[in-house]
Each structure stands twice: as structure tokens, then as C-alpha cells.
């Protein structure tokens, strides 16, 4: 009986000692738990220690010392798209236009993006808008409409030069829409139609010139070979007469020149001789 009482007393004392540590352990757990941090695969976390830059952490699990470490910013390293525009901007030929564009960009240095600029998203949008206005002012309306790719590359280089010190790369800039005043739309339409007609007439003129050169070359060949000229003339008449019900009126002088009488007579005689031979 005395042994059981002693065992119970010993267990009570041991349990009491453990219970005394529970509040301390709970307090320690509450202090450590906030320091456990998880960053997604595409995130980078900029950490300050005692107010100074310490390290870029992530992705995955990492620990921050409470009251010592602090998160300055979490940066998404995926490609982003920023929509920006320039309203009523004058072109080089003083035409007011409205242009909507897209900038594709990404952060390659999280430390610079957080520490070098306060709001990098706004900074990218404003830099792109400024570059767009500058490009509009240095190009004509025709260039804006016909050279979108070149102008997009030009804006991309300008903005990338400005944002690179912030750890940001501009991948590309694309024009989404170019709007001109209503009164200019009809003028541009007529100008485009006139340009198309000009190209069509140019192609037709070049074709006619090429045909004329070929005719001249053929004439030189026929000039030195009368037989070839007669054969060509006969072939042209034959091709014309192949159509059903075709009627060809040929001057007598042309027949004499081509000596068609003898040729046709020989052909007729040959057909008659063949027919008689067949009857025999």
C-alpha cells in the first residue's frame, strides 16, 4: 500500500513538472509559427533583417526570425501584360490619333524590383506610355499604320533601357488598336484605293512592256525566216477557226503573202486523192 502511494505521489510530481513547461512551450510555439513561410513556385520573397536587405528567398518553405526578419515584398516572376494607351497624340504630320497597346514584361531581379522602385507596375505603365507618345510624335500617320511591328520594337527598346535597372525586362510591345478621327477615315480609304489602283496600273504597264519586247524579238526572228512567219499565220487562222461557227475575213494581200492558196490547194488535193484511193 505504501509503495502504491509513493508511486502515485512520484507520478503527480513528474506530471506537475511537465505541466509547468506547457505555457512556456505554447508561448514558444506561438512565437515560431509566424516565422514559417511558404512561397509559391513563381514567387520570390525579398527579406530584410533589422531593416536592411538580407536575402531573396523562395520558392518553397523557409523560416523568418520573428521581430528580426521582415518581408519587404513578394514578387511574381511570371510574364505580365500591361495595357497602356496614348490619347489625342499628334503624329509628325499633325494628325491626332488614339493608340492602345500592350507591353509584355517580366521581373528577372526581385531585389532591384522591390528596392529600386516603389511601384514597379505603375512605373512600367507610365514609361511605356511616355515612349508611345514620343514614337507617335516622331512618325507620320502612314508609318504608324503600315509599320506597327517596327514601331513596337522601337518602343520595346526604349522602355527596356529605362526599366532594366529596376530588374525588369520588356519582352515585346504590340499595338492593339489605332483610331483616327472620323473625318479622316474616308480620306484614308480613298488614299488606299488610289494606291491599289496605282499598283495595278504599274503591274499592267510592266506586263505590256514585257509583251512588246517579246513581240519585237519575235518580229526579228520572223523577219529572217519567212517560212516560220507563214506557219505562224496559218496556225493563228487555224486556232481561230477551231471555235464552232467561226468566220475569218482575211485580205487577199495577206493570203498572197502567206501563199495560202497553194497550201490549201495541196491540202484539198491530198484529201481528194485519199478519198479516191479509199473507194478503189
Q: Give, in order, the Cα–Cα distances in Å from 216 to each of 104, 169, 219, 223.
A: 59, 62, 5, 10
The reported pLDDT for the residue numbered 76 is 94
What is the model's pLDDT at position 209? 82
Q: Shortest CA distance to 114 belongs to which of 159, 78, 76, 82?
A: 76
Tell me the pLDDT tens digit for each residue of 122-146. 999 999 999 999 999 999 888 888 8
pLDDT tens digits, 206-261? 888 888 787 777 777 766 766 666 666 666 666 666 655 556 566 655 555 555 55
* DSSP secondary structure, 35-64, as one string: GEEEE-TTEEEEEEETTEEEEEE-SEEEE-
Give the up-direction half-sphere exposure of residue 181: CA atoms within 13 A in the CB hemisphere: 10
Tell me the three state secondary structure of residue 245. coil
Residues of the chain whose pLDDT is less than 50?
1-3, 5-9, 11, 13, 15, 263, 265-271, 274-280
Q: Which pLDDT does position 213 carry in this prediction?
A: 81
DSSP state of 31: H
Nearest in space to 173 (alpha carbons), one of 100, 244, 275: 100
Res 29: pLDDT: 57
- The secondary structure element, H or E, covering residue 125 is helix 120-137
Are 166 and 113 spatial neighbours (Cβ–Cβ below 8 Å)?
yes
State the pTM of this model: 0.60
pLDDT value of residue 8: 43
Nearest by Cα to 143 from 99, 106, 83: 99
Mean pLDDT of the chain: 77
The pLDDT, as a whole number, for residue 163 is 95
- The predicted pLDDT at position 47 comes to 94
What number does CATH give the domain 80-184?
3.30.479.30
- Domain positions in the chain are 2-76, 80-184, 212-266
pLDDT of residue 136: 92
Residue with cell 511558404: 38
Amino acid at each position: 500500500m505504501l509503495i502504491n502511494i509513493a508511486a502515485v505521489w512520484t507520478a503527480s510530481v513528474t506530471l506537475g513538472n511537465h505541466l509547468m513547461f506547457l505555457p512556456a512551450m505554447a508561448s514558444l510555439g506561438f512565437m515560431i509559427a509566424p516565422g514559417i513561410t511558404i512561397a509559391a513556385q513563381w514567387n520570390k520573397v525579398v527579406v530584410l533583417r533589422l531593416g536592411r536587405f538580407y536575402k531573396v528567398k523562395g520558392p518553397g518553405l523557409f523560416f523568418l526570425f520573428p521581430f528580426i526578419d521582415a518581408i519587404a515584398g513578394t514578387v511574381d516572376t511570371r510574364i505580365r501584360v500591361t495595357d497602356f494607351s496614348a490619347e489625342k497624340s499628334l503624329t509628325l504630320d499633325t494628325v491626332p490619333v488614339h493608340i492602345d497597346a500592350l507591353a509584355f514584361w517580366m521581373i528577372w531581379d526581385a531585389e532591384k524590383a522591390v528596392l529600386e522602385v516603389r511601384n514597379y507596375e505603375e512605373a512600367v505603365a507610365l514609361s511605356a506610355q511616355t515612349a508611345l507618345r514620343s514614337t507617335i510624335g516622331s512618325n507620320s500617320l502612314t508609318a504608324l499604320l503600315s509599320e506597327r511591328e517596327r514601331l513596337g520594337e522601337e518602343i520595346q527598346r526604349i522602355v527596356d533601357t529605362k526599366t532594366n535597372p529596376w530588374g525588369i525586362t520588356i519582352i515585346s510591345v504590340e499595338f492593339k488598336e489605332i483610331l483616327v478621327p472620323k473625318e479622316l477615315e474616308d480620306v484614308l480609304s480613298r488614299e488606299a484605293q488610289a494606291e491599289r489602283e496605282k499598283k495595278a496600273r504599274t503591274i499592267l504597264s510592266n506586263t505590256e512592256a514585257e509583251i512588246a519586247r517579246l513581240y519585237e524579238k519575235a518580229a526579228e526572228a520572223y523577219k529572217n525566216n519567212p517560212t516560220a512567219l507563214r506557219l505562224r499565220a496559218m496556225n493563228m487562222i487555224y486556232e481561230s477557226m477551231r471555235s464552232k461557227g467561226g468566220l475569218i475575213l482575211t485580205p487577199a494581200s495577206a493570203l498572197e503573202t502567206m501563199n495560202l492558196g497553194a497550201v490549201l490547194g495541196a491540202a484539198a488535193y491530198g484529201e481528194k486523192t485519199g478519198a479516191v484511193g479509199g473507194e478503189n
